[in-house]
Amino acid sequence: MIDYFRRHLGAKLLLSYLAIVVVGVAVLIIASQFILPTSFNRHMSGMMGNGMGMGNQGFGNSDSMSQLYVDFRASFNEALTYAALAAMIVAIALSLFFSRSVIAPVRAMSQATQRIADGRYDERVRVNGSDELAQLALYFNQMAEKLNQIESMRRRLIGDVSHELRTPLTAIKGSMEGLMDGVLPATHETYQQIHAEADRLNRLVDDLQELSRVEAHAYQLDIYPVDVSSLARTVTKRLAPQADAKHITLNLELPPDLPYVLADEDRATQVLTNLVGNGLQYTPEGGRITIAAKQVGNEVQIAVRDTGIGIPTEHQPHIFDRFYRVDKSRSRQSGGGSGIGLTIAHALIEAHGGHIWVESIGNEKGSVFTFTLPIAI
């Protein structure tokens, strides 16, 4: 019995209500027994002193008064007993009602929690009223919605990763089978193609590891004043061979009085490298990529402009989503990036307290990726 009350909130509430009623009735009975004699004597004395004829009716002597008191007290106790029983019955009924009204939403959330634990992330509970239980139900639904989004992202990520891994693996497998069957010649070009696909697979795995660390915040930013001009020159020098291979010009538009920014230099370099590398993938031969920077208030805006294929307006809200490509076929023809670089850049800039966005009118008109970093004061 004790274990039952320990394990059921409704039983605890019912017991607490009954305990309050019992204590209240007990206090009423005890208090009445102490107050009754004094109150009775005071009222009877007042009645006799006011000449209400009590003495003429045989109630003036002490024996009559005692008998009257005994009869009155018995009647009072009898009435009090019935009243206490009635109060207990009403209290039990009300306790059951209010206990159930409190327990019902708690039980509903408990059942919904179990269903969510079983993988049903679309489970929701009804929100009634605006009290604490309603707030709890609201927060529960928000939690369930977040879990549902995370589960959707997980499933999409597994599908995307499977697809991205399958492409180079299929190419490698096909080339190897062709070599084994004698369909493909064992030339330097064939081995170079296999090596390129293996290298692409290795880059994808590295990008996935980096994305996992960035999204889990499993890294620390080493923040200190950074020279944006020096950072831009480092990136252009690093990517110059790729630009030269496609005859793409890399330009810098950096004012001489550009202030330093507060950033992790390695991570800021990684962001700018990803943006310029993205521009190299989608800019045709003979194009141009420009890194420009300017001070705007307490921030420095760094922009990467290209003369590439551009991004249609309807695709721009999703451009920082992992594995998102505007045109998958053109993406693979443009260099076969993993589709993760922009996602990593977005997460790193937000970790710096900055913002990143894209502007483009599409139709081969190029794109402008801009991000901000706070000024080192």
- Kindly tell me if the per-residue pLDDT of 373 is higher than 50: yes
What is the arithmetic mean of pLDDT over 318-326?
A: 77
* pLDDT at residue 161, as a whole number: 76
What is the arithmetic mean of pLDDT over 298-317?
A: 91
Task: For the chain, give the percent of residues with pLDDT over 70.
Answer: 86
Q: What is the mean pLDDT of the chain?
A: 81
Local confidence band at 333 (pLDDT 50, 70, 90 cut-offs): very low
* Antiparallel, parallel or unpaired: β 249-253 and 224-226: unpaired
* pLDDT at residue 56, as a whole number: 47
In this structure, of 88-102, 135-149, 351-365, the range with the lowest mean pLDDT score is 88-102
Distance CA 210, CA 338 (A): 12
- Kindly tell me if the per-residue pLDDT of 58 is higher than 70: no
Report if pTM > 0.85: no
Structure tokens at 248: 């793409």
The DSSP result for 91-155, as a single string, is HHHHHHHHHHHHHHHHHHHHHHHHHHHTT-TT------SSSHHHHHHHHHHHHHHHHHHHHHHHH
Q: Are 100 and 10 within 8 A, CB to CB?
A: yes
Local confidence band at 331 (pLDDT 50, 70, 90 cut-offs): very low
Which residue did the predictor score with more confidence, 270 or 27?
A: 270
3-class state of residue 295 by DSSP: strand
Local confidence band at 326 (pLDDT 50, 70, 90 cut-offs): low
Between the ranges 46-50, 193-197, 270-274, where is the mean pLDDT highest?
270-274
Eight-state DSSP code of residue 311: -
Which residue did the predictor score with more confidence, 110 or 327?
A: 110
- Kindly tell me if the per-residue pLDDT of 20 is higher than 50: yes
- Kindly tell me if the per-residue pLDDT of 261 is higher than 90: yes
Domains along the sequence of the chain with CATH: 2-120 (no CATH), 150-215 (1.10.287.130), 224-374 (3.30.565.10)
Distance CA 276, CA 290 (A): 9
Task: For the chain, give the percent of residues with pLDDT over 90.
Answer: 28
For the chain, how many residues are written?
377
Which residue did the predictor score with more confidence, 347 or 74?
A: 347
* pLDDT at residue 332, as a whole number: 46
* pLDDT at residue 133, as a whole number: 76
- Kindly tell me if the per-residue pLDDT of 57 is higher than 60: no
Distance CA 161, CA 154 (A): 10
Which residue did the predictor score with more confidence, 65 or 153?
A: 153
* pLDDT at residue 223, as a whole number: 94
Q: Are 130 and 49 within 8 A, CB to CB?
A: no
Local confidence band at 274 (pLDDT 50, 70, 90 cut-offs): very high
Which residue did the predictor score with more confidence, 236 or 314?
A: 236
116 CB-near residues (< 8 Å, 6+ apart): 123, 144, 147
* pLDDT at residue 46, as a whole number: 62
